[in-house]
Chain A
Amino acid sequence: MNDVARGGVVLCVGLSIAFGAIYFPRALSDFDGTASNNSSLSFSDREVAGGNGIVTDQEAVYEARAIIPLNAKYRVVTGSGLKNATYLTLTFVDSWYRYFLMPRRPAVDGRWIVCYGCDVSKLGGPYTIIWQDDDGISIGRLQ
């Protein structure tokens, strides 16, 4: 049995060294690739990251952060008027803005609006648009 045991030990160490030798350069190469991809991104691409597949317009998230006061309440309202949406946009845009706009608080009665193709007539009051793009995204405030 000792031969079996020692054979097992040799097999373990051999396998570890062999696969380690093969995959070590690959791991370093993967790290290099990841590092170069990350550094080639713009600051905003890196900061928005996962949101790039959701928000459709990066400028909108920065405008929202610039326009909505830190202590204000806001809501993200979606609708059918949005152009160029991804399949993730309508499902996740609310939760992504919740993460990005902190410490601003989302609230169903928020006076500040992040409108993603929303029906402005259903917002509950006169809506003053402060920023908008051509895709149907706007940021503004209810009077």
Chain B
Amino acid sequence: MNAHAIAGLVALNLLLLAVGVSILFALRGWASWGQLLRLSGVAYLLGVAATGVVWTFELVVGIPFGFPAIIGTGAILALLAVPVGYRLGHRLPRLPRLRVKPELPRLSLVSAVFAALTVVYLEGAFRAARLAGLYEFDAWAFWVPKAKAIYYFGGFDQQFFRELINQAYPPLVPVLEAAAFYFMGAPDVVTLHLQFWFLLVGFVGAVVGLLSGRVSPVFVWPPLLLMLVAPHVGGHFYHPTADFLLDEFFAVAALLIALWLIDRKDWQLVAAGLLLAAAMSTKREGYAFAASAIVAALVVTTRERRSAWPKLIAIGLAAAATTVPWRVLLAVRHLGGGGPEAGGTGLFSNLDRAWPSLRLALSTVFDYHLWLVVTPLAVVAIVAAFAAGARTLPLYTTLVYVFAVIAFTYSTWAFPSLGISKKPALNPIVRLSGEVVLLTPALVPLLLARAWRRAPQPVGDT
């Protein structure tokens, strides 16, 4: 661990941010530089998602991974995105003159206090992550070895990607970690933890950026801070595995879909599709999570199905299509597809696991010692929104949460080798349940805003 490695990570993440900003320009542009600053978190996550998906595709087709591919891909994405933005009529705002006070987002007292607390939290998180060792079994057994294999051999090495466990797991995280190794100058598995700190910062920025300006800061910041201080979040967000990144991609995608349900701005749906594609390229659970958000949105748009459904279905299919090359590679190499041990009719022969699996899923999602009161908070917010007469948002949120619990139940029920236990060595249910927890600060503020003001919130510029 040294300053050179940290500087390398900063450079990589600036590259990802730059790519994301160009994609944001293509999708929506920005009316002011302050607005771009506010949306920089979502831009960063879009950059991570787009480059991660494209890097994965390049590796599948055999393009050697290295600095030329990493930087070239970013440059090509940016060069493609900018003309698209111009074609769609987006223009850069005028640069602020030196003598003129630059326009920055206004901060209320609540925002200022909670933003300061969040900065203090993130500073502590940085210190905890910067010298962390690689202790988690999954990290040293396959996530990081896959990244090292990409780094050393420039591709999905035949031997290591066959011999390491969980061959069928999607490769976005190892690809991102390999890029981090290049920028750090070595496979520094200690400093690597900081890459996941950057991702958390991006997630926090994305949630705040998408919600601020349209939802009172009183509704945005407290649930976000509550999620951050939950014991399992602080202790695990920096592990170089895929769980938190999956949750971060999905939570912001689900938020963008929720915003699309209110605003019907196409850029929100396209951005959500990009993040869902990245989620599916991050972990297999990404398919279930993405399906849950798309199906929930389909259900709540039944009345407008002629206009809404084609867009939702197209986005879902396009996102899933980005993972086809990886699935083809698995098939060509005769690697297992990673399906459930007892899927389909196998569930019926394991009926005795159904109720314990559901009970485990629910008790994990509501586990105070892991997640404090984050999930009960979401339940109260949903009830409040329903009580205020809102239907679309609370129903959408309810369905996403219910589908999540069903998915968690299935993950234990369909894998009889997993114990009915929250112990990480026996069952990944705790890691899975992070989906619901990271989703809460993304969706709850919208519910609270709808519950507080009976009339729908005026559409903002998000």
Contacts and interface: CB of A to CB of B under 8 A. Distances in A.
A95 B141 contact: yes
The B interface is mostly helix, strand or loop, or mixed, namely helix
Contacts of B388: 1-2, 5
A108 to B, nearest CB: 11
Interface string B129-160: 01111111101110011001100110000011
A38 B145 contact: no
Contact-residue bracket for chain A? 35 or more
A16 B148 contact: no
A142 interface: no
A12 B223 contact: yes
A46 B384 contact: no
B372 A28 contact: no
B124 interface: yes
A2 to B, nearest CB: 6
A103 interface: yes
Given A9-B452, A98-B145, A99-B140, A31 B229 contact: no
Chain B's interface size range is 35 or more
Contact of B452 (A5, A41, A103): A5
Nearest to B136: A50
Nearest to B148: A102
B261 to A, nearest CB: 19
Contacts of B134: 49-50
A135 interface: no
A17 interface: yes
Interface stretch (B52-60, B354-362, B373-381, B427-435): B373-381
Contact of A46 (B133, B219, B376, B380): B133
A45 interface: yes
Contacts of A83: none
B223 A34 contact: no
A9 B128 CA distance: 34
B125 A31 contact: yes
A77 to B, nearest CB: 17
A27 B121 contact: yes
B120 interface: yes
A5 B152 contact: no
Contacts of A106: 163
Given A8-B384, A9-B451, A24-B121, A31 B127 contact: yes
B448 A9 contact: yes
A4 B189 contact: no
Nearest to A25: B229
List 5 A-B pairs, minimum CB-CB distance, nearest first.
Answer: A8-B384, A49-B133, A16-B222, A31-B124, A5-B388
Given A23-B229, A35-B124, A49-B189, 18 more contacts: A2-B387, A5-B387, A5-B452, A12-B381, A13-B218, A15-B377, A20-B225, A26-B229, A28-B124, A38-B130, A46-B133, A47-B189, A98-B163, A98-B164, A99-B141, A102-B145, A103-B153, A106-B163
Interface of B: 1, 117, 120-121, 124-125, 127-128, 130-137, 139-141, 144-145, 148-149, 152-153, 159-160, 163-165, 187, 189-190, 218-219, 222-223, 225-226, 228-231, 234-235, 372-373, 376-377, 380-381, 383-385, 387-389, 444, 448, 451-452, 454
